[in-house]
Amino acid sequence: MAALACLASSLSMGGAAASERAHFRSLRTTSTSISMGLPWEGRLARGVPLHNSATIRRLPRVASRDNFYGTGELIGLLERSARTVAKHWQGSRLTVGELSARKGGWLDGHHSHRNGRDVDVAFYMRDRRGKMAQFWRFVPFSHSKGARRGPRHLQFDDERNWKLVTAMLADPEARVQYMFVCTSIRKRLLKQGRRSGASTELLRAAAAVLREPKVGNPHVDHFHVRIFCSRDDRPKCQDEVPFWPWYDGVPPDGDFTEPPTIRWRTARASR
Ligand SMILES: [Zn+2]
């Protein structure tokens, strides 16, 4: 458990000293949004809209539906993560699909997305010449690097997508529960993490949140990110298992879920 305590500390300040926690609390934006219930049967009050900016782009395919409302924590997570990536790759923009309707509730085409804590995020891509690229809709990828259907010239950008994963996991305010994505993309992201020298703790955290859903959409063309309820919104806002060590509360049954151990195929993995 020592490694996990360390993980919580380094990724989310969950295990930080009281003074550090106070410092991070002081950095929190006071969010007036309220997420109620569960992601698949809840509502959202005083939702915060996500706007286009230098680092954020609403996915053109769904832009006119205007379902870009989330909790303050989710909007903050998207903006901070997109900025972190853009700091390393100038001009980089995160393309974002639907979040929730202004007041939450049922959203066409989604099972969850009902209480401002879910968002669909496009993969960062490059074209054949290696230039950063965007598209008007989500682009599916599978085992090969090139797009599986549609625009064959687009490539999955391992480096920027991995940076996005780490930026979200390290966010000081929002706590990520899931980044749903298909198994083949999960594998390539973890490989990228290992190549980039990420710590075992960080890789395990990524392995925990990057998951292909057991049923329904396997997520070959976008991440579906879900965050835990913010402290302020509990207990009206509800979470279900798994509660990772960076969850900033006490799980209902008192037990945190340990992130999985990664079994690499090659010896280098055992570090
Ligand atoms: Zn989704």
What's the gap in Å between 224 CA and the centre of ligand 1? Answer: 5
Question: What pLDDT score was predicted for residue 30?
Answer: 59
Question: What pLDDT score was predicted for residue 267?
Answer: 54
What's the gap in Å between 212 CA and the centre of ligand 1? Answer: 12
Cα 174–Cα 205–Cα 196 angle in degrees, nearest 5: 110
Structure token pair of residue 150: 């549609």
What's the gap in Å between 169 CA and the centre of ligand 1? Answer: 18
What's the gap in Å between 94 CA and the centre of ligand 1? Answer: 16
Nearest to 246 by CA among 70, 24, 75: 24
What's the gap in Å between 179 CA and the centre of ligand 1? Answer: 10
What's the gap in Å between 270 CA and the centre of ligand 1? Answer: 34
What's the gap in Å between 3 CA and the centre of ligand 1? Answer: 31
The strands making up 132-133's β-sheet, listed across from edge to edge, are: 132-133, 125-126, 155-156
Cα 122–Cα 125–Cα 126 angle in degrees, nearest 5: 165
The contacts of residue 232 (CB under 8 Å, 6+ apart) are 31, 34
Domain containing 150: what range? Answer: 2-270
What's the gap in Å between 110 CA and the centre of ligand 1? Answer: 6
pTM, two decimal places: 0.88
Counting the structural domains of the chain, the total is: 1
CATH number at residue 156: 3.30.1380.10
Question: What pLDDT score was predicted for residue 11?
Answer: 55
- From first to last of its 271 residues, the chain has per-residue pLDDT tens of 334 444 544 554 344 344 444 444 444 555 899 999 999 999 999 999 999 999 999 999 999 999 999 999 999 999 999 999 999 999 999 999 999 999 999 999 999 999 999 999 999 999 999 999 999 999 999 755 566 666 888 999 999 999 999 999 999 999 999 999 999 999 999 999 999 999 999 999 999 999 999 888 889 999 999 999 999 999 999 999 999 999 999 998 889 999 999 988 765 544 4
